[in-house]
Amino acid sequence: MDEGTSFTDQFNPAADIFRALAHPVRLALLELLREGEVCVCHIQAVLGLRQAYISQQLMFLRQSGLVSARRQGWNVYYRVTNPRIFEVLDQVKAMLPAPFQPWLAPEAVNCSCPKCRVASQPG
């Protein structure tokens, strides 16, 4: 151990991850991102929360290194940076008495982003 550091300092990165997970909306965001990249407008339509609040929670996840963003035109898309976070979430879910409820499929959500429009078009 380096001089000036304590034994517990090595646990700071893990604590940062758990801090990022310690909010129900951030957990819901990660569950939405489990299927891949999602735009903010889609998240807003699924969760029914204000865009500013969603962005605040996504910023917290981004600062913790759990998600990243990319802009395409007017839309901002988020994705998980390390899918191993889902292993952590799965272990937590296994400890719960009831499973999480599924969210609405893109075709059931009133979202006009290009990804949702393609998903909702008849086959």
Look at the block and give the residue holding tokens 């296994």.
94
pLDDT of residue 113: 73
Query: Dihedral of the CA atoms 97, 86, 25, 17 (nearest 10)?
Result: 110
82 contacts: CB under 8 Å, gap ≥ 6: 65, 66
- Three-state DSSP state, 62: helix
pLDDT of residue 45: 86
- pTM (predicted TM-score): 0.83
pLDDT of residue 104: 57
pLDDT of residue 15: 94
* Cα–Cα distance, 5 to 23 (Å, whole number): 29
In 3D, which of 42, 15, 34 has the Cα closest to residue 118?
42
pLDDT of residue 58: 97
Mean pLDDT by 10 residues, the chain (123 residues): 83 94 96 92 89 96 96 92 96 90 63 67 61
pLDDT of residue 1: 61
In 3D, which of 77, 80, 68 has the Cα closest to residue 113?
77
